[in-house]
Amino acid sequence: MLKTLTVENYALIDKSVIHFPGGFSVITGETGAGKSILLGALNLILGQKSDARFIKYPDKKCVIESIFDLSTYRLQPFFEENELDYDDECIVRREIAPNGKSRSFVNDTPVAISVLKELGEKLIDIHSQHKNLLLNDNRFQLNIVDTVAGNRKELEHYRNLYSRFCNDKKRLKQLIDETNKKNADKDFLDFQLNQLKEANLSETEQEELEAEAAMLTHSEEIKAALSKSLWLLSENEQNINANLKEAIASVQAVSAVFPASEDVAQRLASCFIELKEITRELDSMQNDVEVNPQQLEYINSRLDTIYSLEKKHNVSTVKELLQLQQSLEEQFQQLDFRSEEIERLSKDIENQETALRELAQALSEKRKTKAPEIEHEIVAILRNLGMPNARLSIRFDPKESFSADGIDEVNFLFSANKDRVLQPIATIASGGEISRVMLSLKSVISRSSGLPIIILDEIDTGVSGEIADKMGTIMQEMGKTMQVISITHLPQIASKGTVHYKVFKTDNEKGVTSNIKQLSAEERVTEIAQMLSGTNLTEAAIRNAEELLGR
């Protein structure tokens, strides 16, 4: 139940605090007085988009706050799911800064707009005039059937499976498309992979081959250089080793009489030993150097293969070629994995489809079973509202495929006259008839929906007199099981409210301000009399107002 609504610095309102009782309350006021402003403020509490244009004084923030009594509505699970503190008295607040940014709070805890919307949907149903257009909406009609039939749990179960079914079908299509694309390139990928495998590459091979190729290409030059070095060191008549050996002997010969030469002799001996070692190494290297045109031809061919592969795949090293080979192998493994996943997912979807069909069929049967009762209730209310020949039939047509609502296409067929063929309700009903039909629907829904609050914004459009009085009685009855707030221009309906509020404008030096007040018993008589007679208040209008109020 909505206990209190506080609106501060919003549109034409400076600050208004409205206390609501349970049952049936009415709000009246002249056109343009600000009744729609109250609805706008309430919609902000329910998560509607904020706009800085609605701030009355641009240097101050706008604050909308409501207090709800949740004691009988079992909303603790919602609060737990959203990590909010639960209290039977719930405070919802929305603050809009002058720059248009807003903040939302539930029991002083900041919340996202999505949470505010979800909570609002569990608390309030606002029926504004434009919602009469919902009669054109087959989903709205289906929702009426589901609400009255009590299909909430069944629909939730069905929609969870339907969501999974749709996601899996989307995933399957994606897998198939990807696989088809990969398969289209499979032969080319296979050719690339086999070419790399046949090359039998190793990571250091290119550097080793290039070094060996350089040596084989210059083998004759290398061999000649080594031979010449050996000849100079040890093979010609004046070779270095023989001369050095002779120099050592000469120095050693005078070392007894010239001790200073001993050191030189030792150093020359070391050089001789080192040169002998170098000579042996040069001899070994010369023997190892091979002039092998066949090996050079093989190496060049191998390098050509490597260079060709690098150029083809736009890389510069064998390491990158090996990485590419690994990537191609993984792609082939993925193709095999996709085939397995496609097969598994296809079976899952097939099983889901069977389960969906069973759930949808059960939903459909429950809807069709409940439809005659809904037809009877609505027709009974319409006949009480001055439509004695009203007829309503709920037609079910099967959908071609599953939808989020099942397999039923629902259409409300209606006629207000005996001699008229039943036709879709939105195409045949007049303005006044639509108002009565919508009130009938809201009345039927209110018994089943479990919503704490319903706000009816001029649902009485197009009716008057006795019919308006009967509509007011229906709202009174609805108010016995839920909180009903009706914004109305009709005195017949205004007189039925337990509490009566009036919206009015005042003009002062600061500008125009919209206000709301709860009327006393005498003020209520005056207000309803003015609604009956206009500005010129007559005794007859006052007597009529008192009669409407049951005095």
Give per-residue pLDDT as tens, 189-222.
778 888 888 888 888 888 888 887 888 888 778 8
The answer, yes or no, to whether residue 251 has pLDDT greater than 70, is yes
Identify the band that residue 2 occupies on the pLDDT scale cut at 50, 70 and 90.
Answer: very high
Per residue in 422-470, pLDDT (tens digit) is: 888 867 656 677 778 888 888 888 777 666 788 888 887 777 788 888 9
pLDDT higher than threshold 80 for residue 508: no
What is the percent of the chain with per-residue pLDDT over 70, rounded to a whole number? 94
Residue 351 has pLDDT above 90, yes or no: yes
Inform me whether the pLDDT recorded for 370 exceeds 60.
yes
pLDDT at position 406: 92
The confidence score (pLDDT) of residue 62 equals 93
CA distances from 322 to 197, 207, 299, 527 (A): 9, 15, 20, 91
pLDDT of residue 295: 80
Per-residue confidence band for 51, with pLDDT thresholds at 50, 70 and 90: confident
Phi and psi of 406, rounded to 5°? 115, -145
Higher pLDDT, 8 or 236: 8
State the Cα angle at 92 between 122 and 131, rounded to 5°: 45
Res. 67: pLDDT tops 60: yes
Distance CA 5, CA 45 (A): 10
pLDDT at 457: 85
Query: Quick one: pLDDT band at residue 499, thresholds 50, 70, 90?
Result: very high
Task: DSSP for 488-548, please give it.
Answer: -S-HHHHTT-SEEEEEEEEEETTEEEEEEEE--HHHHHHHHHHHHH-SS--HHHHHHHHHH
Residue 135: what pLDDT?
A: 66
Please state, in angstroms and rounded to a whole number, the distance separating the CA atoms of residues 96 and 241: 103
Higher pLDDT, 336 or 363: 363
Per residue in 112-140, pLDDT tens? 999 999 898 888 888 765 555 566 678 88
3 state SS of 458: coil
At residue 193's C-alpha, the angle toward residues 192 and 199, to 5°, is: 95
Looking at per-residue pLDDT, the higher value among 358 and 291 belongs to: 358
Look at residue 551 in the predicted model and tell me its pLDDT: 54
Torsion of CA 472, 476, 481, 482, to 10 degrees: 60
pLDDT of residue 497: 92
Does pLDDT of 226 surpass 90? Answer: no
Percent of the chain residues topping a pLDDT of 90: 30
Contacts for 38 with CB less than 8 Å, ≥ 6 apart: 5, 7, 18, 27, 503, 516
Q: In this predicted model, what pLDDT tens digit does every residue of 371-420 receive, in sequence order?
A: 999 999 999 988 888 888 989 999 999 998 999 999 999 999 988 888 78
Helix axes 138-149, 318-384, angle to 10 degrees: 70
The listed CATH number (3.90.950.20, 3.30.70.100, 3.40.50.300, 1.10.3720.10) that belongs to domain 1-128+437-519: 3.40.50.300
**Residue 528's pLDDT band (boundaries 50, 70, 90)?**
very high
Within 416-452, strands assigned E span 423-424
Looking at residue 268, its pLDDT comes to 86
* Cβ–Cβ under 8 Å, residues 295 and 281: no
SS3 88: coil
Q: Using the predicted structure, report yes or no on whether residue 187 has a pLDDT greater than 80.
A: no
Average pLDDT over residues 146-162: 90
Q: What's residue 431's pLDDT?
A: 65
Helices (H), ranges, 98-185: 113-123, 138-149, 152-184
Q: Is 444:378 a contact under the CB 8 Å cutoff?
A: yes
pLDDT at 179: 77
Q: What is the mean pLDDT of residues 355-364?
A: 94
Average pLDDT over all residues of the chain:
86
Q: What are phi and psi of 512, to 5 degrees?
A: -85, 135
Helix-helix angle 205-217:219-230, to 10 degrees: 60
Secondary structure (DSSP) of 357-416: HHHHHHHHHHHHHHHHHHHHHHHHHHHHTT-TT-EEEEEEEEEEEEETTEEEEEEEEEES
Q: What is the mean pLDDT of residues 316-336?
A: 81
Contacts of 432 (CB under 8 A, 6+ apart): 461, 462, 463, 467
Q: How far apart are CA 433 and CA 386, in angstroms?
A: 10
Read off the pLDDT of each residue in 287-305 and give the average, rounded to a whole number. Answer: 82
Of 155-164, 171-180, 286-295, 464-473, which gets the smallest average pLDDT? 286-295
Measure the CA angle with vertex 100, ends 94 and 103; round to 5°: 30
In this structure, are residues 525 and 512 in contact, taking their beta carbons and an 8 Å threshold?
A: no
User: Which residues is 410 bridged to in the sheet?
Assistant: 396
Q: Is 425 left (phi over 0), alpha (psi -120 to 50) or beta?
A: alpha
- Token pair listed for 194: 């086999």
Give the β-pairing of 483-487 and 109-111.
unpaired
Between CA 68 and CA 78 the distance in angstroms is 15
Residue-wise DSSP of 51-83: -GGGBSSTTS-EEEEEEEE-TTS--HHHHHHTT
